[in-house]
A and B are shown apart, each in its own frame.
Chain A
Amino acid sequence: MHILYLIFVDPFMQMVHSPDLLMQTLWDGLVGGVLYALIALGFVLIFKASGVFNFAQGIMVVFAALTLVGLHEHGVPAFVALGLTVLVMLVLAFAVERLMLRPLVNQSEIILFMATFGLTYFLVGFGQLVFGGSPKVMITQDLYLPSGALEWKGNFGFVSFQKIDIAAVIIASIMVAVLAVFFQRTRIGRALRAVADSHQAALSVGISLEQIWVIVWFAAGVVALTTGIMWGARSEVSFSLQIIALKALPVLILGGFTSIPGAIVGGLIIGIGEKLGEFYWGPLLGGGIENWLAYVIALGFLVFRPQGLFGEKIIERI
């Protein structure tokens, strides 16, 4: 039957036929995946350590990017602006801990989740107040981020790699590596894992919950900033960027909410899967499957493996 041929044979033949297009698609998917992973990472950090699903992660990305660009517009040199933005994220972390987390410390998770809603809209409003609502351009040049494209002509075709994309992949990889090492080896990293596991036990061992929360929100803020720079450099800095955060959800479902490697792998699977799906199978379904393919994959996982690929299998010993 023709339809079976179109689904199961034709796309693979196309892949083999024009490997350069395949590589381009794979590369684009990889880049997208890395960026999704970055966003998911922010969620994972906070969820792991404070048990809160931070709805505001998306807006934090925007807010960080806006702060950076906004400061630069006011004449602050690029790298100073970068440093100041990091400082702003630190202040934000303190504020969130002091004003949001501490008062709500014994409340249920849904209440904390609602609080992050509040945080979101606060940041949206505050951001618009300070920086205005119009989209801005990321200061890629001043941050010495490359632009332009690398082209590669092989004997089977032609693939184009955006330099900014290459930079994004490298920077994201470094960030992930540093975070992974941090979690595994340092005392603070261990304390984070402890707090993520049991508040009561962490307290009795002498870990200060407040300190850990500040650190974690700060780390999430820095990740948000990086994400903001990378996404902003590829498109533009506007409030619509926060939609990206929604793409993190399938990534988290795939990778597990509490796993850093899970966020990476999940991001890559979604990113590459999306692009491949769109390019080779999209025409079958009238195009535009990029928007929902991720969610379909996520749905599948929820049915068969709800804890994700890397999440902790919950074993209850009765």
Chain B
Amino acid sequence: MRAPAANETALGESLLAVEDVSLSFGGVRALTGVSFDIRKGEIRAIIGPNGAGKTSMLNVVNGFYQPQAGRISFKGMVRKSMRPYAAAQGGIARTFQNLALFRGMTTLDNILAGRTLKMHRGFFWQLLRYGPALREEVEHRRRVEEIIDFLEIAAIRKVQVGRLPYGLQKRVELGRALAMEPDLLLLDEPMAGMNLEEKEDMSRFIIDVNQQYGTTIALIEHDMGVVMDLSDRVVVLDYGRKIADGTPDEVKRDKDVIRAYLGETH
């Protein structure tokens, strides 16, 4: 293991921090003054009732939305906002609640698309498929195959993604995000719509990604069981504000959290 470079984050230190971020659309305030951080190597869950602003938060981190106020610091660099491809180039990969897959392409091509930012060799050499470009292509293909093996989707390698059942599509999207070899992986409701067996598989993959590749993960999730099992720390949002931040056990017992989920009568 080499010593971390100047701008590399050490394990346990803050990889991404949002400070005082506020976001509104027209008159609607989606986020108000939210601050929390995500430490390198951890699995951070973002939870909250529907409409709490969780996906908006992810979109801000990812660069899809530009906040009106607040800052984001990622890997030591502070910025007010990022364009999506800058976020991707910086090492943030993302999956979406409603899936954003290339429906017309095969599983293999979808995951290969995740390698886009890593493809360097000259355009001309790629055309000829020769020399360094060929070697690079082989290397990319090998990485992609490792991911396919890891996610156990070898059987649907050549199937057009638009035809796959929902659970498998989610896995392909995860594969594409993994292909980017991200420092930070943002998962928006990865278990949505899955049955028990699929949830267990997905949980296993998430844990393996975190342990084997050391990827930091932030996930939005509704299934409390999953959250408690998987995450190291939890952030709770409600009506665009942060109402709790801590370990799963701490958060579970927090009065504000209980009230937010179960309503005022408790």
Contacts and interface: CB of A to CB of B under 8 A. Distances in A.
Direct touching of A and B (C-beta under 8 Å): yes
B129 A191 contact: no
A191 B114 CA distance: 10
B125 to A, nearest CB: 9
Interface residues of A, number: 26
A204 B116 contact: no
A142 interface: no
A312 B104 contact: yes
A204 B96 contact: yes
A185 interface: yes
Given A194-B116, A197-B102, A206 B126 contact: no
Contact of B180 (A181, A205, A208): A205
Contacts of B101: 198, 201
A75 to B, nearest CB: 33
B162 interface: yes
B25 to A, nearest CB: 13
Contacts of B88: 203-206
Interface string A168-200: 000000000010011001111011011011101
A190 B162 contact: no
B85 interface: yes
B117 interface: yes
B171 interface: no
Interface of A is mostly: helix
Interface residues of B, number: 32
Interface string B158-179: 0000111100000000001000
Q: Name which of B62, B93, B104, B117 has the most chain A CB atoms within 10 A of its CB.
A: B104
B187 to A, nearest CB: 12
Contacts of A201: 100-102, 113, 176
A207 interface: yes
Contact of B126 (A186, A312, A315): A186
Contacts of B104: 193, 196-197, 312
B123 A206 contact: no
Q: Name which of A182, A188, A198, A312 has the most chain B CB atoms within 10 A of its CB.
A: A198
Interface in A281-318: 312, 315, 317
Contacts of B116: 187, 190-191, 194, 205-207
A204 B114 CA distance: 9
Contacts of A312: 104
A181 B127 contact: yes
Contacts of A200: 96, 100
B185 to A, nearest CB: 12
Interface in B89-125: 89, 93-94, 96, 100-105, 109, 112-114, 116-117, 119, 123
B49 interface: no
Nearest to A193: B105
Contacts of B62: 204
Nearest to A187: B119
Interface of B: 62, 64, 84-85, 88-89, 93-94, 96, 100-105, 109, 112-114, 116-117, 119, 123, 126-127, 129, 162-165, 176, 180
A-B residue pairs, 6 tightest by C-beta: A206-B88, A197-B102, A201-B100, A186-B126, A203-B84, A206-B117
Interface of A: 178, 181-182, 185-188, 190-191, 193-194, 196-198, 200-208, 312, 315, 317
Given A185-B127, A205-B180, 4 more contacts: A182-B127, A194-B105, A204-B84, A205-B113
